[in-house]
Amino acid sequence: MSETPPRVLVINSGSSSLKYQLVEPEDGVSIASGIAERIGEPVSHTEHRFGDKEVAMDQPILDHTAALREALRLFDQVGPKLEEANIVAVGHRVVQGGRYFSGPALIDDQTRNLIDQLSPLAPLHNPAHLKGIDVARKMLPDVPHVAVFDTAFFQSLPDESATYALDKETADKYSIRRYGAHGTSHQYVSGRVHDLLGRKRIRQIVLHLGNGASASAVVNGEAVDTSMGLTPLEGLVMGTRTGDIDPAAVFHLMRNGGMKIDEIDTLFNKRSGLKGLTGDNDMRSVRARANAGDKEARLALDVVLHRLVKYVGAYAAEMGGLDVLTFTAGIGENDSALRQELCDKLKMFGITLDPVANVLRSKDPRTISAADSKVRVMVVPTNEELAIAQQAMSLLD
Ligand code: ADP
């Protein structure tokens, strides 16, 4: 038997990129990682890291087959060598699992076809995932491949939370309901909170605030609501997405602005949110500008905070109370000013932050509320690759 602990190769395949990470699910160590970007363009970019060794190259990468072949070559050249890597499974991130998947699934032809069938609900994502899945199954045929779905954690949503008040026949015909997204992160982070606090009964809100942003309400480990909906467009204000907006804006822009549906799709998904309000989708720049007195940037932050307050209030009311409020992802983990501003607006819940704990920088999960706060406030770094690796392993066990 090999001395090397079991490892999972986690693959996140996009339309023009293929990211991978070799993870030890038991102790959460990332052994190696890499990316091929701008696949199919005249010059693609590849990177591979193993320990303190790193290589980066610009070279043509024709398609996903070439991208994975290059990744496997880099494993052999930079390390760890594949025959010594002890890869026991490949975990694939899949954005949309629809009503079919409420947990990880072994990828056989049937699973593959279901992921394909769900493409109309995630046209940018599922077909791109399938490219990665197909080449990986061919090139690594001796290990099981597992799909881990962004929507799976939210399949437990009660009907009243997943159902839109839309004509039932139309909703059923076109599979329109709340699927949520970022579920792997919400499940991982809320699960860590349970592990760390050692209590079963917890009503928590997880705020995943990155470039994409979403909130979830989780009672005793089960999701009961989430802000992303049919697609990741709904909910919080994001880097480039509107979040909640009156759908009548679409009719107005088509009727009176002469806009086509694809233009509005791009407008809402890529040219709105922080970017739409300030021209800048990076929270660090928006905050720096607001600190320097830029009124546009300050308004953008206030819109972000206003939406967050709405969701926290609504979810606390839905759950009949709130025990833990947890921040995660790029902004949630790093932007102590946003955490302070939000918690100041949530005083009616008896929330008080410990200002010293809040600004302490750390990669570890931590409590940042004051000892007398009625709600515990935490920062728990997310780790979607580890979560995917662990879910893949759980299926093998
Ligand atoms: P995604 O995975 O959705 O692309 P991330 O979780 O990496 O996004 O988060 C990216 C966001 O986090 C960006 O808006 C970035 O500005 C913000 N961010 C990262 N570090 C900080 C920081 N120190 N302060 C404020 N925002 C930060």
Let me know if 244 is a catalytic residue: no
Contact 385, 78 (CB under 8 A): no
Q: Is 19 annotated as a binding residue?
A: yes
* Residue to probe by mutation, ligand 1, list 17, 269, 284, 361, most atoms within 8 Å of CB: 284
Q: Which of 349, 259, 336, 338 is nearest to 303 (CA)?
A: 338
What is the pTM (predicted TM-score) of this model? 0.96
Pair type for strands 222-226 and 213-219: antiparallel
Q: CA 4 to CA 349: how far, in whole Å?
A: 49
- Each residue's pLDDT tens digit, 101-150: 999 999 999 999 999 999 999 998 999 999 999 999 999 999 999 999 99
Q: What distance in Å separates the CA atoms of residue 357 and residue 368, rounded to the nearest whole number?
A: 5
Is residue 284 lining ligand 1, measured as CB closer than 6 Å? yes
Which atom number of ligand 1 is nearest to the Cα of residue 274? 14
- Does 34 sit in the ligand 1 pocket, CB within 6 Å? no
Dist CA 77 CA 34 (whole Å): 13
Position 2 scores a pLDDT of 52
Q: Count CB neighbours of 42 within 10 A.
A: 7
CA–centroid distance, 325 to ligand 1, in Å, is 19
Judge if the beta carbon of residue 286 lies within 6 A of ligand 1: no
Q: Do you know the residue count of the chain?
A: 397
Ligand 1 and 232: CB distance under 6 A: no
Q: Is 284 annotated as a binding residue?
A: yes
Alpha-carbon distance of 7 to 84, in angstroms, equals 11
Q: Which of 334, 336, 360 to mutate to test the pocket of ligand 1 (most atoms within 8 A of CB)?
A: 334
209 known ligand binder:
yes
Nearest CA to ligand 1 atom 27: 331
CA distance 26 to 82: 19
Radius of gyration of the chain (CA): 22
Residue 260 Cα to chain centre, angstroms:
29
Residue 120 phi/psi, 5° resolution? -60, -25
pLDDT value of position 39: 96
Residue nearest (by alpha carbon) to ligand 1 atom 4: 211
Q: What's the gap in Å between 333 CA and the centre of ligand 1? A: 8
Torsion of CA 309, 382, 331, 228, to 10 degrees: -50
Asked whether 152 and 104 are in contact (CB, 8 A), the reply is yes
Token digits for 111?
Answer: 């699973």
Q: What are phi and psi of 131, to 5 degrees?
A: -60, -45
How far CA 162 is from CA of 157, 178, 209, 217, in Å, comes to 6, 5, 22, 13
CB distance 239 to ligand 1 below 6 Å: yes
In tens, the pLDDT along 23-72 reads 999 999 999 999 999 999 999 999 999 999 999 999 999 999 999 999 99
Residue ranges for the chain with pLDDT beneath 70: 1-2
Query: Is-contact 287 331, C-beta < 8 A?
Result: no
Ligand 1 centroid, distance to 21 Cα (angstroms): 20
Q: How far, in Å, is the centroid of ligand 1 from the Cα of 240?
A: 13
